[in-house]
């Protein structure tokens, strides 16, 4: 397994960068766009990383190092150029219990194990299962995450030092009031207005960056008393250094960290892969899901050994990056390097930036992220789809993304199974080849959900001596379906009648004839080799 993972990872590293379209070569103009987009993202990453470190109960530098390391590695080898990764609230709310009970060293070990699990998922190409997430779940995910980003910014409207951080950053604490509140609201609105107007004037510099610099200049120039980045915590520090987690290497330690690592790995991959799909839809390019799993895993392993809290894709910062014009890996790499420069050299300047400017940027991200069209289609799509959109949105806000996606997929799958269960029916006629025989032409899939309804289609007592069941318009899907056919054959045999099956694959023939009840109509059941080959590959037992 270890060799397979290393080989797969090496192949990923050797893959050429296909992120540039013919019109997106790294010209001087493209370098400017990418670097400025990266600078904008780096400025927005600072308060987020610090806040999520508080949520997890660790030092702010632990969050900043995670943002730098995870962001750099995923930008270099991730599955989707344009994505931004770093410390996130979805992971922080899981980490807080581990840190509180066992300390930060156990967190570092958990992050390493989390990364190993993600590497295994990438090597086994489990990322492809993200295709099973239905579109209504994606809409609910986007809407819920937009609301979460909005709620997280409300914590910045509290008196610095009084906020009790929670998963959404809106815990207890004293709200701003009077002139400080009016200034905060006014500067936030000014930032949003600049971001909205700037693209109509010029696109030379990303609008969010202009908004941040203009508002910061006003605040610093006039000496306005408003909350600033430095009020959250000092971001000054050195280079992250290699550090082996100081924990006992025994089974007891594994029992402590493994459950947390599994949960963190799952949440991180789900959020990253959904962000991968979202960014791909916005840029019109597809990304590699398994490659992203490998990148996230490698990033977290490295982060755990260099004193970071781990991380995953960040939809808010990814939206800032993409909407600032970034389309290559350069912007993500630049964002990580700018963040490191802030930590090493520019912390006094960065700490002067007003939080209102960064809140304004994130509010514009919320407006751009929320799928507003989903509100208009709720009355036009099937009722179950509308319910799933609302359900996933609510669960994302109330719980977390991973739970919301799992709930949405389960509900969608149950709805699909129920709809297909009601599709099973049969058309009856007299046989043209077997005089006196009755033919049941089955229509609709036969699986666990429709097996009971399948048995109710037959009138065993009043049927003639010979009955033919034709599956030409049906598909035998699972073991429950095979059991239903065998049970039906047993009932006809008990009634002293003969049953024939037509248009089943060889797989079904073998399994059913083992029961000893069935006779296959070989004259009207040709060799469906193509159907058999298809079924073997997909795991579906019968049908065309």
Q: What is the C-alpha to C-alpha distance for residues 449 and 417, in angstroms, rounded to an integer?
A: 6
HSE, CB side, 13 Å, CA atoms: give it for residue 81.
21
Residue 439: the pLDDT is 92
- What are the distances in angstroms from CA 28 to CA 16, 191, 333? 21, 28, 17
| pLDDT (0 to 100) of residue 440 | 94
Report pLDDT digits (tens) over 342-382: 999 999 999 999 999 999 999 998 998 898 988 888 888 88
Q: Which of 322, 397, 317 is nearest to 358 (CA)?
A: 317
422-538: CATH architecture: 2-Layer Sandwich (3.30)
123 vs 82: CA distance, rounded Å: 23
Question: Would the pTM count as exceeding 0.85?
Answer: no
Q: Where in the chain is the domain with CATH 3.30.750.24?
A: 422-538
Do 242 and 305 contact (CB within 8 A), yes or no? yes
Q: Quote the tokens at residue 544.
A: 């065309």
How many CB atoms within 10 Å of residue 375? 11
pLDDT tens for residues 96-114? 899 999 999 999 999 999 9
Q: CB pairs under 8 A, 24+ apart, for 515-521?
A: 515/486, 515/489, 515/490, 517/486, 517/489, 517/490, 517/493, 518/485, 518/486, 518/489, 521/468
Residue with tokens 């070989």: 522
Per-residue pLDDT at 503: 83
pLDDT of 282: 77
pLDDT of residue 519: 52
Extract the residue ranges of the chain whose pLDDT is less than 70: 1-24, 160-172, 286-287, 505, 507, 509-544
Which two structure tokens, joined as six digits, stand for 434? 């077997």
Euclidean distance between CA atoms 404 and 395, whole angstroms? 5
Helix/strand/coil for 160? coil
Q: Alpha-carbon distance 341 to 321, whole Å? A: 19
- CB count, 10 Å around CB of 436? 9
In the chain, DSSP finds a helix count (H) and a strand count (E) of: 22, 7
Supply the pLDDT for residue 538. 37
């Amino acid at each position: 397994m270890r060799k397979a993972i290393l080989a797969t990872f090496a192949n990923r590293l050797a893959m050429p960068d296909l992120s540039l379209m013919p019109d997106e070569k790294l010209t001087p103009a493209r370098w400017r766009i990418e670097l400025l987009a990266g600078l904008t993202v780096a400025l927005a990453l600072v308060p987020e990383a610090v806040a999520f470190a508080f949520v997890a109960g660790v030092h702010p530098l632990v969050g900043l190092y995670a943002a730098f390391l995870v962001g750099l590695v995923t930008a270099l080898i991730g599955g989707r150029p344009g994505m931004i990764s770093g410390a996130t609230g979805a992971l922080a709310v899981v980490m807080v219990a581990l840190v509180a009970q066992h300390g930060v060293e156990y967190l570092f070990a958990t992050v390493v194990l989390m990364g190993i699990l993600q590497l295994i998922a990438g090597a086994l190409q489990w990322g492809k299962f993200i295709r099973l997430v239905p579109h209504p779940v994606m809409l609910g995910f986007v809407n819920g995450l937009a609301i979460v980003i909005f709620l997280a910014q409300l914590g910045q409207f509290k008196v610095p030092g009084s906020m009790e951080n929670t998963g959404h950053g809106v815990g207890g604490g004293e709200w701003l009031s009077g002139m400080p509140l009016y200034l905060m609201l006014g500067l936030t609105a000014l930032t949003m207005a600049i971001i909205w107007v700037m693209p109509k004037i010029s696109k030379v510099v990303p609008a969010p960056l202009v908004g941040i610099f203009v508002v910061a200049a006003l605040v610093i120039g006039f000496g306005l008393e408003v909350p600033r980045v430095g009020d959250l915590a000092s971001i000054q520090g050195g280079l992250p250094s290699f550090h082996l987690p100081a924990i006992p290497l025994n089974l007891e330690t594994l029992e402590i960290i493994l459950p947390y690592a599994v949960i963190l790995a799952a949440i991180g991959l789900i959020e990253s892969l959904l962000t991968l799909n979202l960014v791909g839809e916005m840029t019109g390019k597809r990304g590699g899901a398994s490659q992203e799993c490998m990148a996230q895993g490698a990033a977290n392993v490295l982060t755990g050994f260099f004193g970071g809290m781990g991380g995953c894709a960040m939809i808010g910062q990814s939206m800032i990056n993409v909407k600032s014009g970034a389309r290559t890996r350069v912007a993500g790499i630049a964002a990580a390097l700018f963040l490191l420069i802030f930590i090493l050299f520019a912390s006094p300047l960065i700490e002067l930036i007003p939080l209102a400017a960064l809140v304004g940027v994130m509010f514009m991200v919320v407006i751009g992220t929320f799928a507003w069209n989903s509100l208009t289609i709720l009355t036009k799509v099937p009722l179950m789809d509308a319910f799933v959109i609302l359900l996933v949105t609510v669960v994302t806000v109330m719980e977390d993304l991973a739970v919301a996606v799992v709930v949405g997929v389960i509900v969608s799958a149950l709805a699909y199974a129920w709809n297909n269960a009601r599709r099973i029916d049969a058309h009856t006629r007299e046989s043209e080849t077997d005089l006196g025989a009755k033919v049941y032409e089955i229509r609709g899939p036969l699986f666990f959900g429709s097996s009971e309804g399948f048995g109710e289609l037959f009138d065993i007592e009043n049927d003639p001596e010979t009955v033919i069941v034709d599956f030409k318009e049906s598909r035998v899907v699972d073991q429950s379906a095979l059991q239903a056919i065998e049970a039906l054959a047993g009932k006809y045999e008990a009634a002293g009648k003969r049953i024939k099956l037509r248009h089943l694959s060889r797989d079904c023939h073998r399994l059913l004839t083992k029961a000893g009840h069935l006779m296959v109509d070989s004259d009207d059941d040709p060799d469906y080799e193509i159907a058999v080959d298809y079924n073997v590959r997909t795991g579906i037992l019968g049908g065309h």
